[in-house]
A and B are shown apart, each in its own frame.
Chain A
């Protein structure tokens, strides 16, 4: 086969693959043609020929790029959504026996996030499904690269009464993990999450007496429900700072930023009062005689009169 016939044959094959949508295969052949022309001397109109082949190669690259760029999942018809819902059986372990949760999960897995969020939101009203529904709403936002919206939604729940304190704590930990796993923590740092999610206090700084010590029930862990007492080392209005020695490992491990402490008792030189608090900071001391101990900050959210 002479040069002309060989090139013709290769171009025909490349075009055939293109008609089949086999763009990579077509590209490979055009590249072979380019090499063949370049390596052959005395080709008539060589530069023009090469320019034509280069144009073909460019156009194939563009088409491949378009195909590979993962398109945002389109919103599909209601019929297609029904098929998606049917596809994921209600006995999915994560659905915990609920057909409605399973069908919302199916929509989420197929990238039908708006509809899935709508269905999960309805499930917030069902106590047994509430935490799963809330977590899945946040998952949907994070999947769409919208960590800020997830944060906003959690903040909204924190200021309302949709989720209990315990549920909120769990959901919050889940969101922090989710953001970290999705690699979005460079944009939405832990500090930002903590700052954004810190609940407002109902009390003014000047209404709060000096507090010497506090008593509260451990909100989680092995000591959940047990009473703990800490001395206040510094107070700035509603913010109380306590030093927790490093030897008290369990207390340190089981108290985390974002924990709600309900039914706290505050001891002041003039009165004892109760209210609710929130763990707003937990920092390890890195220098000085207290190195290794923890500085814990609790924000007083309200006082029961």
Chain B
């Protein structure tokens, strides 16, 4: 849950990057950490296991400037994507304000994307959060791999399979090159702040 500090004109929200293992969640954060230096408000914390796979989470604090006089801060987290770390994913999701679902565009990962989205749905349900209500953005990652000869899923097909019912904003991206990474972040921040404004009227309270 977002932290609103009206005394200090500050709002802090939690954004979680979710998705199957190896879909590029950590790569998204690494790119943001490296290229959005002005907004990065601290060290990126990563805890890897064998083979560079996230064990607990990655964490990146950001300062996104002032909106209607209010300092907007965001904490970006990733979850471990591997199936066996379900309990950790549940922990990291606690208090989430916005979610970026990083889907893998590789054809062979089609089923993993769907399973991970289902897992997200179930974990949110446990926390009494409706996946249709929480700010959510889908990112179709690894689009650059087509050039290297990897068979990718057509965007229309991914959209049909993952976003047919959700109907949330979706973006194609390549976290490795950075294409679409900033847009994804900006999209989820817009949705989250709009949602929090609707829920808590923080900007209004602040301006009065």
The answer, yes or no, to whether B140 is at the interface (CB within 8 Å) is no
Most-contacted residue by chain A among B50, B82, B108, B149 (CB, 10 A): B108
0 or 1 for each of B95-137: is its CB under 8 Å from A? (1 = yes):
1000000000010110000000000000000000000000000
With a cutoff of 8 Å between Cβ atoms, the chain A residues found around residue B22 in the complex are 20-22
With a cutoff of 8 Å between Cβ atoms, the chain B residues found around residue A83 in the complex are 45, 57, 59
Tell me which residues from 15 to 60 in chain A have a Cβ below 8 Å from any Cβ of chain B: 16-17, 20-22, 25
With a cutoff of 8 Å between Cβ atoms, the chain B residues found around residue A88 in the complex are 91, 94
With a cutoff of 8 Å between Cβ atoms, the chain A residues found around residue B92 in the complex are 87
With a cutoff of 8 Å between Cβ atoms, the chain A residues found around residue B148 in the complex are 16
Contacting pair A71 B50 (CB below 8 A)? yes
With a cutoff of 8 Å between Cβ atoms, the chain A residues found around residue B55 in the complex are 71, 73-74
The answer, yes or no, to whether B43 is at the interface (CB within 8 Å) is yes
What residue in chain B is nearest A73 (Cβ atoms)? B55
A21 interface neighbour in B53, B108, B145, Cβ under 8 Å: B53
CA A12 to CA B145, docked complex, whole Å: 13
Q: How many residues on the B side are at the interface (Cβ–Cβ under 8 A)?
A: 31
CA A129 to CA B106, docked complex, whole Å: 50
CA A13 to CA B148, docked complex, whole Å: 10
CA A76 to CA B150, docked complex, whole Å: 36
**Interface majority SS (helix, strand, loop, mixed), chain B:** mixed
The answer, yes or no, to whether B204 is at the interface (CB within 8 Å) is no
With a cutoff of 8 Å between Cβ atoms, the chain A residues found around residue B56 in the complex are 73, 76, 80, 84, 110
Contacting pair A80 B47 (CB below 8 A)? yes
Tell me which residues from 105 to 141 in chain A have a Cβ below 8 Å from any Cβ of chain B: 106, 109-110
The answer, yes or no, to whether A67 is at the interface (CB within 8 Å) is yes
The answer, yes or no, to whether B49 is at the interface (CB within 8 Å) is yes
- A residues with a Cβ closer than 8 A to B are 12-13, 16-17, 20-22, 25, 63, 66-68, 70-71, 73-74, 76-77, 79-80, 83-84, 87-89, 106, 109-110
- B residues with a Cβ closer than 8 A to A are 1, 22, 43, 45, 47, 49-53, 55-57, 59, 82, 84, 87-88, 91-92, 94-95, 106, 108-109, 142, 145, 148-151
